[in-house]
Amino acid sequence: MKKIAIFLTTALALGSAAEAPAQTLERIRSTGVVTLGVRDSSLPMSYVLGSDQAVGFQVDICQRIVAAIRKQLNLQKLEVRYQVVTSQNRVPLVKNGAVDLECGSTTNNQARQQDVAFTLTTYIEEVRMAVRASSGIRSIKDLEGRTVVATTGTTSVQHLRRNSRATGLKFNEILGKDHAESFLILESGKADAWVIDAGLLNASIANARNPADFAVVGEVLNTEPLAIMLSKDDAPLKALADRTLRDMMRSGEMKTLWNKWYAEPIPPRNVRLNMAPPAALQKLWQDPNDLPMESYAATR
């Protein structure tokens, strides 16, 4: 599996005496290394520039958590390594300790909570579909007899199947190995629609050769809380991460990061997504929680 060769060592002014670490924090203290899982093409949440730079909204959030880890453990230096993860292997890599914090675009749901834990929600996303603007597809009902692409290992596949059963629609389903391939399948005309988080759809379209050729359309298929994954039953690390996130939300730093990645030009093409934070996310900044996806479905 591809591994990004980024090794950052940062000196930090020493804070107060470290609290007693456990599990992941104990390993980080003993090795002097923290490993962050990142995605290669989940714009603008988590993606790779070239072969050696991980960037994105979630990556910046994880960097703040890493700074908090350095301070709590009273470390002069802490080496940060980045490991590219996929939709298929991200949960196992967190579960087996190969990745300490997964800084990607992962939905917090009850099934995944059997194997891993999640921080407070960092982003609330609506699942929709992207189509070619000339396709005539504007609703789920228009998918009858069409071909739909979804990224392997994502929850979007579940929503597609659920809607297929609920409406009686018959459509073909194909899978892309990652988000970049899924969009390429749509762009090449091999699929009529791509279903995934709306933010990712908008980012992929903005970075396409001809953005005007595509549109995000249709009903909201699901509301999904995205969060950072960490080891299950590791209360000390979760408490540290959640405290950091609350501080960021309270201080306005989370809104600043939103503007950086969703309103200002972003690499590699310096395009603007021009996305305002969803009302549900703004509400979350005022009252943080770590509720799974099923809780949102129950309240809709």
Residues 215 and 233 occupy one common structural domain: no
Residues 26 and 47 occupy one common structural domain: yes
Q: What is the pLDDT of residues 58-88, one digit of tens each?
A: 999 999 999 999 999 999 999 999 999 999 9
Q: What is the pLDDT of residues 13-24, one digit of tens each?
A: 333 333 433 589
Residues 230 and 101 occupy one common structural domain: yes
Residues 177 and 76 occupy one common structural domain: no
Residues 234 and 181 occupy one common structural domain: no
Q: What is the pLDDT of residues 250-295, one digit of tens each?
A: 999 999 999 999 999 999 989 999 888 988 899 999 999 999 998 9
pLDDT score of 70: 98
Q: Which long-range contacts (CB under 8 A, 24 or more apart) does 257-266 make?
A: 257/57, 257/60, 257/61, 258/57, 260/57, 260/60, 261/44, 261/45, 261/56, 261/57, 261/60, 262/44, 262/57, 262/199, 266/43, 266/44
Q: Say if residue 167's pLDDT is above 60.
A: yes
Percentage, residues of the chain above pLDDT 90: 72
pLDDT-based confidence at residue 4 (cuts at 50, 70, 90): low
CATH number at residue 248: 3.40.190.10
Residues 131 and 171 occupy one common structural domain: yes
Residues 133 and 247 occupy one common structural domain: no
pLDDT score of 7: 39
Residues 241 and 259 occupy one common structural domain: yes
Residues 131 and 119 occupy one common structural domain: no
Residues 119 and 259 occupy one common structural domain: yes
Q: Which domain holds residue 149?
A: 126-223
In whole angstroms, give the CA distance from residue 228 to residue 59.
10
Residues 96 and 139 occupy one common structural domain: no
What's the whole-model pTM score? 0.81
Residues 21 and 110 occupy one common structural domain: yes
pLDDT-based confidence at residue 3 (cuts at 50, 70, 90): very low
